[in-house]
Amino acid sequence: MEAWLGLMSGTSMDGIDAVLVSFRDRTVQIHASRCLSYPDDLRQRLINASQNQASPDEIGELNTLTGQLFAQAALRAISDSGLNPNTIRAIGSHGQTIRHQPAGSAPFSFQIGNPAIITETTGITTVGDFRSRDMAAGGQGAPLVPAFHKAFFGSESENRCILNLGGIANITWLPARGQGPVTGFDTGPANALMDAWCLDQTGRPYDADGHWAVEGRVDPELLEDMLSDAYFQRTPPKSTGKEKFNLGWVKTMIARHPDLKPEDIQRTLLELTALTIARQMPETGVDTVYACGGGTRNPELMRALGQALAPARLAVTSELGLDPQWVEPVAFAWLAKQAIEGKPGNLPEVTGANGPRILGAIYPA
Ligand SMILES: Nc1ncnc2c1ncn2[C@@H]1O[C@H](COP(=O)(O)OP(=O)(O)O)[C@@H](O)[C@H]1O
Ligand SMILES: [Mg+2]
């Protein structure tokens, strides 16, 4: 049996998700899974770097420190699993995005977490830097998970959407029987704005279970202002990040609405996430939306989404055999497999690249 290890940390910068898996046909067998949280000071340094507040020295150090932590997450998953490390063909490490700028004349997407350190520490071949080849081919470099969604979650009878609720939300549209093209893009914020506002106002990194948001009420005028941001109107391919949807964005929006209570703003941000996702879904034909990512653990967000998406049904990916928390890291384990086997990892129709490309840089053991 051949195993693959996926390492992922998204825009929320909450910690490193690590999974050790085997693939058989369209099923994923999980041998171990765990999340290694970032220490508070490292998280703060990463947030600063993502806001352009880091010197080259600082970025270099962060590249090493996160590489070491990604390696630790891998070692722990391996030891949890009890598997012989020789059975692990490769590690796929997304790294930590500190800046994603897909537009303009010099587009780039910058992930840190030095893969050489992961290879050296684990003795296992590591694949990193998945996004840059797609970008070099004219693509957004994101989202990359739709190829995995297509390979594992497509259906003969049901029109499906896979919805990832990380810091940013992305959707993958999978028409039944592969009829019609698979599409996918970032819809905008999932948790990023709620997290940023919650941290700023309460000192807590996120609004656990949406308790704070439900103390407030949706303000229709603020909501309308937020919904008019051009990003939500743009046609795909498109991708975004915390360079755009951050505390500064919230503060600009609320400046025109000075009398709102902080919890009203939180509630409105929650509604914004639900509505921007629902409005960017295909207009007809979606049977079920399968959600994954940390946002699935916020029952208030799930409730608002369920309402906004109706008549489409909202479910979680557990129904498809994969725990919502592990879909993204499993996708990077699979992308490593694609790279090692010399197969493409992007969907050009999703990223806008000039064609299918083998993604990633390989650091041999
Ligand atoms: N119990 C919870 N209540 C509300 N939000 C939660 C809860 N658990 C996780 N989250 C949200 O999920 C986020 C992490 O989700 P994750 O899928 O790891 O995102 P990313 O891919 O951006 O790292 C947290 O920042 C938080 O916003
Ligand atoms: Mg995360």
Q: Does one domain contain both 158 and 244?
A: yes
Number of domains in the chain: 2
Residues having C-beta closer than 5 Å to ion ligand 2: 10, 12, 14
Condensed to tens digits (0 to 9), the pLDDT of residues 173-201 reads 999 998 888 999 999 999 999 999 999 99
Q: 143 near 350, Cβ under 8 Å?
A: yes
Which is it for strands 108-112 and 88-101: parallel, antiparallel or unpaired?
A: antiparallel
CA of 355 to the centre of ligand 1 (A): 33
pLDDT reported for residue 336: 98
CATH number, domain with residue 265: 3.30.420.40
Mutation test residue for ligand 1: of 8, 11, 14, the one with most atoms within 8 Å of CB: 14
pLDDT reported for residue 334: 98
**Domain boundaries, position 158:** 146-320
Q: Does one domain contain both 229 and 112?
A: no
pLDDT reported for residue 112: 98
Q: Does one domain contain both 305 and 353?
A: no
Which is it for strands 288-292 and 183-189: parallel, antiparallel or unpaired?
A: unpaired
Within 10 angstroms of residue 88's Cβ, the number of other Cβ atoms is 25
Q: Does one domain contain both 260 and 346?
A: no
Structure tokens at 316: 């979680």
Q: Could you report the average pLDDT of every consecutive run of 10 residues in the chain (365 residues)?
A: 96 97 96 97 95 96 98 98 97 98 95 98 98 98 97 97 98 93 96 97 97 98 98 97 96 96 98 98 93 98 98 98 98 98 97 98 98
Distance in angstroms (rounded) separating the CA atoms of residues 13 and 192:
10
pLDDT reported for residue 180: 86
Q: Does one domain contain both 356 and 308?
A: no
Nearest ligand atom owner, CA of 12:
1
Q: Does one domain contain both 150 and 183?
A: yes
Q: Give φ, ψ of 44 to 5 degrees.
A: -65, -40
Residue with tokens 């977490």: 113
H/E element, 129: none
pLDDT reported for residue 284: 83
pLDDT reported for residue 178: 84
What residues contact residue 108 under an 8 Å CB cut-off, 6+ apart?
99, 101, 132, 135
Condensed to tens digits (0 to 9), the pLDDT of residues 55-66 reads 999 999 999 999
